[in-house]
Chains A and B, each alone.
Chain A
């Protein structure tokens, strides 16, 4: 079965610092991978996705993620954190046609 593991339920950074949110996946077939963001009291919004092709994927709001097959990882990064980035972030993998399996989420805290 396909699954994802997100390391760290909470990550704290200062405004302007690098953001790194970790995601490792388990998949027996080439995976489709996703990062979603959830702002307080809202639904989930797609940040970026990897399906095939280029392994460095750029998303909205300056986020990007790199698919590393050898490390089974799909970590999310942003060079400089902004206060508005404070939210919960979910990594997800597709186990089959249009289904998703989500990680447990990482809450990003940004301090001034």
Chain B
């Protein structure tokens, strides 16, 4: 199992450009998440998808859109990148349905994005 994979690993954009960050998981998880990590601020939830076909805003959704393409894939789109979106982006997944208790989140390796 590859777990959670993210592409690309690194990206440099100019202000106003658009791009899509890709995420896929092979653990048959129901829920998927996008976070951004900034120094001194921990991880902040951008959007999440509790199940295929649903998406909801997290703590910092402005400037982003998401698509839950199928159960495996959850993409994050920046329509018009801004320098404030320079960050490290992590995708995560959880919930294989085998236990009624909370299932931990599994994280991808991250995408380091710089917006000039």
Instruction: Give the interface of A toward B (CB within 8 A).
Output: 9, 32, 34, 36, 41-46, 49, 51-52, 90, 94, 97-105
Given the known inter-chain contacts A44-B90, A98-B95, please indicate yes or no for A49 contacting B43, CB distance below 8 A: no
B20-43 residues with Cβ-Cβ distance < 8 A to A are: 31, 33, 40-43
How distant is the Cα of A51 from the Cα of B45 in the complex, in angstroms?
A: 21
Distance in Å: Cβ of A52 to nearest Cβ of chain B:
8
How distant is the Cα of A97 from the Cα of B42 in the complex, in angstroms?
A: 20
B37-93 residues with Cβ-Cβ distance < 8 A to A are: 40-45, 48, 50, 58, 90, 92
Given the known inter-chain contacts A98-B31, A98-B50, please indicate yes or no for A43 contacting B90, CB distance below 8 A: yes
How distant is the Cα of A101 from the Cα of B43 in the complex, in angstroms?
A: 8
| Contact status A49-B104, CB under 8 Å | yes
Neighbour of A99 across the interface among B40, B42, B45, B109, CB < 8 A: B45
| Contact status B42-A45, CB under 8 Å | no
Instruction: Give the interface of B toward A (CB within 8 A).
Output: 4, 31, 33, 40-45, 48, 50, 58, 90, 92, 94-95, 101-110
| Contact status B43-A90, CB under 8 Å | yes
8 closest A-B pairs by beta carbon, nearest first, are: A43-B107, A102-B42, A104-B42, A44-B107, A102-B43, A46-B104, A32-B102, A43-B109
Minimal Cβ-Cβ distance residue in A for B58: A99
Residues of A within 8 A of B33 (CB): 99
Given the known inter-chain contacts A51-B102, A98-B94, please indicate yes or no for A42 contacting B109, CB distance below 8 A: yes
| Contact status A51-B101, CB under 8 Å | yes
How distant is the Cα of A32 from the Cα of B105 in the complex, in angstroms?
A: 13
Given the known inter-chain contacts A97-B50, A104-B40, please indicate yes or no for A34 contacting B104, CB distance below 8 A: yes
Residues of A within 8 A of B94 (CB): 98
Neighbour of A90 across the interface among B4, B42, B108, B109, CB < 8 A: B42
How distant is the Cα of A45 from the Cα of B92 in the complex, in angstroms?
A: 11
